[in-house]
Every structure is written in structure tokens, then in C-alpha cells.
Chains A and B, each alone.
Chain A
Amino acid sequence: MLVYLFRRILISIPVVLLASFLLFAFVRETFDPTARLRNVRDPEVIARETERLGLNDPIPVQYGKWLGEFAQGDWGESARTREDVTDMTRRAFWNTLQLIFWGIVVSALIAVSIGVYSAVRQYSIPDYAFTGLSYLAIAMPPFWFGLIAINVFAFKTQGWFGLSEPPVSFVGLHSSRQSGYDLDYLKHLILPVMTLSVQIVGSWSRFQRSAMLDVMSADYIRTARAKGVPRRTVIFKHGVRNALIPLVTVMAVDIGLLFGGLIITESIFSVPGMGRMFIQALLQGDVAVLEAWLIVVAVFVVAFNLLADVLYGLLDPRIRLT
């Protein structure tokens, strides 16, 4: 197990490094880090800044320098706000992590319940209804769902019940001057988590349904039923526990997709997380922030994939990781 983990990490390192180099070159080609001096007429000043940032070196040299500083925790400063990128990222990442956590928890709970129910009551009316809904959920652009959610759950609901203010909030994660994890937090969390989850629930529930159907037609299920184990016990103890295993891999792969969803969700709901940081950095051509963002996300996704593989091995004793 440890050997496997060690080897996987070793394999991941060059992949992340190569990705980071390509992205670094791509970002440097796209944006001019001296752009904020655009209004300065004096070419001398721009030349000095170019020299200071080492922009005259070839890209691989620049990358080497940048990587060295990055590894030591010096991620540069934002070209706009002059803020330390390390601090910015840490703050943004914490907010994003909350969305990811709740998004995965909520999606997994709903998707597994739907999937198991649909499989156990295959071809029932609810099964067909869930199938139809999942088609809709998968086809619906997430950003459109987010906008509709604001329209319906904040404004329409307010009108229907004659409330003085929208029942759920759609700006940020906390009201101003609040930071606790209380009712206010929950009110802010509902819509973004919903937006983040809808497509994932659609696809995970389909996956869970077919995994459950596979398991329920296995010989050991028939054996269990034949020797008189109650149906309920068979479903939950023998069925669901085994049907959950394949979902773990799918979850890991979808973490990458989740970051795409976060960019959309955070920009709709103004959550000060990684997604919004990316959009702002991109709009402002903030090179240091973009570079840090891409690496952090890449490492996160790779780490998650690794975690899923390890979990997969732990959950399913039939699989030996070597």
C-alpha cells in the first residue's frame, strides 16, 4: 500500500510539473506583467520593471526562477492590489473548500438515495420520473440553473409569501460583518450548493442506479435472499455497501469538473473563492495570481485522484494496489 502510494506520488510529480510549465508559458505569452504601467510614458521605467521581473530571460529560465520561489512559499504579489498571492489564495481556497465540501456531501447523499431507490424499484413511476429529471439536470447549463434559482427561491418566494426580504441570500457566504457558521451561513449556502450540485446529482444518480442494479443481480445477493436474510438487510447491508464503491472513482474524476462549476457558481453568487479569484485575475491580466491558481488547482485535482484510488483499494478488498 505504502509502496503504491509512494510510486503514484512520484508519477504525479512530473505530470504536474509539465502541466505547470505549459500553463506558465501560456499565461506569460498571453499577458504582459508590466501592463499596469501602460500609462507610464517613460520607456525607462518600463524597461526597469521588465528587468526587475526578469522578463528578458527565456521562458524556461523564468519558469525555473518562478518555481523556486513558488516552492518556498513566495507566490509573488497581485499586480492590482499589491496583495500577497499566498494570502489571497489561502483565503479564497478556504471559501471554495466549504462549497466543495457541502457540494459533494449534498450531491452524494441525494444521488445515492435516488440511485438506490430507482434500482430497487426499477421501472416504477418514481424511477421513470427520476430518469427524466436526471436527463434535465444533465442537459441544463449550470449557470442558467443558478440564475433561475435566484429568481425563484429568492425573489418569487419572497413575493408569494409576502416576506420583507428574500428568504435565501445570493451574495457571498456571509452577510456583512458576520462570519459565524449559523443560520445566516446556511441561508447563503443553499443556492450556491444547489447550483453546484444539480448536474452532479443528475449524473451520479444515474451511475449509482446502474451500479446498484449490477450488484443486485449478483449471485451473493440471491444467496443471501435464499437463505432467508430480510430484503431490507440485503438491500442495505449487502447491496448498497458494495454499490457505493464504483461511485468513489467517479467522484474523484468529477472533482476536476467541480472546479469548472465553481468558477460559474462563485461568479453568479459573488463568493470570494478560487473561482471568482480566477475570473478577476483573468479580466485584469493578473499574471502572478493566474499562475498560482492554475498550479494550486492542478495539485488539488491530482491529489484527489490519488486519494480516490487509495480509498478504492481500502473499500474493496478484492482490489490490490501494487
Chain B
Amino acid sequence: MTTLGPHDRSGPATVQGSGFGHGAEAGGAEIDNELAAELEGVPLASTEPPARSQWELFRRRFFHHRLAAVGLGLLVLLYVAVFTASLWVPQNPRAQDVLAGTSAPSAEHWFGTDQLGRDFFARVIYAGQISLKIGLAVAMISTAVGTITGSLAGYFGRWIDQLLMRLTDLFLIVPGIAVLAIALKKFGSADTVIILVLAASFWMQVARVVRGQVLAVKEKEFIEAARAAGASNTRIITRHVLPNCIGPIVVNATLAVAGAIVAESTLSFLGFGVQKPQTSWGNLLFDAKSNLQFDEHLLYFPGLFILLTVLCVNFVGDGLRDALDPQSRR
């Protein structure tokens, strides 16, 4: 229910049938033929299309989506660069040069310096550590919790289902950012608290999607077959139901990274998020707010990093949506 984040109304990618696991044979064979036709260097004599694993098919479809491939590359680069900053960024983000003060970008200071003369490139890169960490952690926790509750609600129905739906309804009528801000005011603003509070509001979206998916899948014949063969509920959920919901789960998890980064930066910008001396991209923008007339490098660079991250994540999400959809014919 990321009331902050981008309107990801594209939300539940409708993965009908199944990409992973059951019943993909019909679709898979057609794709194989198409791919085989594209392949050069395959001996024409062989009429049999080369066998491909699901993973291979998925990879081909994903990298066919060029923006998604570029997005993934940039994202990996960004994460690696940010978290290895101490190895390659020469400047210390805390080293002040108060007399020098603010300066525009130059060869020496790529992103210029801030009011205290600190190298802004180093500040932005190190701030990324907090922002990206929160994004990833929130996505992982909310996906795990959302998947578990969503599949329980969808599979067993009844009160847990009712509870989940009513809870999400409640969150739809009050702006999420307001509730998050109050929660941070209550629980403090340590990293872990921010992560948990954001995850507490993000899991419901995942749960809702998974629930819908599970409701559709559990009526399928192969579930009945599994039950007839004597499989336990746990086994049916983990081995038969969830693998067929992987598409929407993965897409939502990806988008949650972006949602969480924007949510965190917004809260930090409003003053309720990450607190000094720790710095995230949102904090840097909070500082930039005080001088919008000059020194716009302090305003542009942190925002560009947020924008770039969110764009990449959205592209990767699009690519995954296509790649995990067995109906897609790429």
C-alpha cells in the first residue's frame, strides 16, 4: 500500500497458468520452436528443438527486454559501487573544510562541496549505503511476511482472510505517509526501526497479491491431484501453490525496493526518517532545501541518484513481469 511511492497500479502481473512448475509444457514448446528458429548455427538437420530449462527461457525473455537488462546492470553497479565505497572513494565524507565552504562541481570535487566544505561526491555515495540498504531490507522482509500471510489467507480463507482484507482496507483510507510518520515518532528513527516500520506497511500489498494468486491456483486440478496423492497442506503450499505465484511475488518485491527508497527519502526529507549524523539521500535533500537559489548541485545530485535507482528498479520490474509471464511470446 505504498501510498508514497510511484503509483504501481500495474501491480499484480497476471501470471495465469504457470511459468514455473506445472502445465507450462504447451506454451514452452511453442517458445522453444520460435527460439530455435532464431538461433543460427544450429544444424538444420536436427528437427528437435534444443531443450531449454525454465531458467534459460526466463533469462532469454528477461534480457530480450533491453531497458530491463540495462536497468539491472546499473542497479548492480550502483549497489556494488555504494557498498564498496570505502575501497575506491578517495575523499572522506566527514572531512570538513569550513573555510572553503560550498563550491561548484570541479575536477577535484566531482559533485562540488557542501556548506561545511565536505566532498559532496563522497557524501552522496556514502548516503546511498543507508538508502539502498533500507530499500533492499524492506523489500525482503515485506515480501517474506507478505508471502506467508497472503498464502495462508488465500489457502485457508476464513478469519485470517477476513482479517487481512479488513487491515488493508484500513490502510487504504488513511495516507500511509501520515501513519508512517507517527510510527517513527513513536518508535524512534534508528535504521532497524525505519526498516521494520516501512516493512510493516509494505507487506500488505504483497499479501493481497499473493492471496489473489493463491485463490486462483488452489482450484487447479494439479492441486487436487497432489491432495489425492496424500500431500500435506505444507507441502502443497510450498511445492505446488507458491511456485506458481512466483511471478507477481518477484515483481512486487522488486517494486517494493523503489517504494521503500522513496518512502524513506520522503520521511527523511520531512524530518521523521534517518537522523544525523547518519545521512541518506533524503537527508541530503533536506539540507539542500535551505538554499534553493544557489548551490543547486546540492539539490540535483542526491535526487538524481534516487531517480536513477527508482527508474532502474521499475524497468527491472517490467522486464520480470514479461519474463515470468508464460503467456508472453518473446
Contacts and interface: CB of A to CB of B under 8 A. Distances in A.
Contact of B292 (A138, A151, A254): A151
Q: Name which of B170, B176, B182 has the most chain A CB atoms within 10 A of its CB.
A: B182
Contacts of B175: 256-257, 259-260, 263, 297
Interface stretch (B26-34, B134-142, B234-242, B302-310): B302-310
A203 interface: yes
B265 A263 contact: no
Contacts of A97: none
Contact of B307 (A26, A136, A293): A136
Contacts of B310: 139-141
Interface in B170-219: 170, 172-179, 181-182, 185-186
B220 interface: no
Given A136-B307, A267-B270, A151 B299 contact: yes
B7 A260 contact: no
B182 A26 contact: yes
Interface stretch (A74-82, A119-127, A142-150, A308-316): A142-150
B296 A19 contact: no
Given A22-B170, A260-B176, A282-B185, A135 B3 contact: no
A93 interface: no
A297 B307 contact: no
A147 B292 contact: yes
Size range of the chain B interface in the assembly: 35 or more
A26 to B, nearest CB: 7
B10 to A, nearest CB: 9
A298 B174 contact: yes
Interface of A is mostly: helix
Nearest to A278: B178
B307 A144 contact: yes
Contacts of B262: 141
B174 A144 contact: no
A144 B220 CA distance: 47
B288 A30 contact: no
A29 B170 CA distance: 19
B288 to A, nearest CB: 7
B170 A15 contact: yes
Contact of B303 (A18, A23, A144, A279): A144
A302 to B, nearest CB: 6
- Identify whether the interface residues of B are mostly helix, strand, loop, or mixed: helix
Nearest to A166: B293
A138 B255 CA distance: 12
B6 A18 contact: no
Interface in B274-330: 285, 288-289, 292-293, 296, 299-300, 303, 306-307, 310-311, 314
Given A15-B173, A136-B311, A263-B177, A144 B3 contact: no
B293 A155 contact: yes
Nearest to B304: A144
A155 B289 CA distance: 13
B170 A19 contact: yes
A169 to B, nearest CB: 13
Contacts of A31: 185
A143 B285 contact: yes
Residue from the set B177, B271, B306, B314 with the largest chain A CB neighbour count within 10 Å: B177
A250 interface: yes
Given A138-B314, A147-B288, A203 B9 contact: yes
Contact of A144 (B258, B306, B311): B306
B270 A257 contact: no
A195 interface: no
A264 interface: yes
A118 interface: no
A31 B186 CA distance: 8
B292 to A, nearest CB: 5
Interface in B126-152: none
A147 B285 contact: yes
B155 interface: no
Nearest to B169: A15
Nearest to B296: A151
A125 to B, nearest CB: 18
Contacts of B169: 15
Nearest to B293: A155
B307 A148 contact: no
A41 B185 CA distance: 25
Nearest to A158: B293
B112 to A, nearest CB: 15
Nearest to B306: A141
Quick one: which of B169, B266, B292 has the most chain A CB within 10 A? B292
6 contacts: A141-B266, A141-B310, A147-B303, A148-B303, A155-B293, A256-B174
| Complex A-B, nearest 8 residue pairs according to Cβ-Cβ distance, in ascending order | A203-B7, A144-B303, A30-B186, A139-B310, A260-B175, A259-B175, A260-B177, A138-B6
Given A136-B307, A151-B293, A257-B175, 20 more contacts: A15-B166, A15-B169, A26-B182, A30-B186, A139-B307, A140-B303, A140-B307, A140-B310, A141-B265, A141-B303, A147-B285, A148-B300, A199-B6, A256-B175, A260-B4, A260-B178, A264-B177, A264-B269, A294-B178, A302-B173
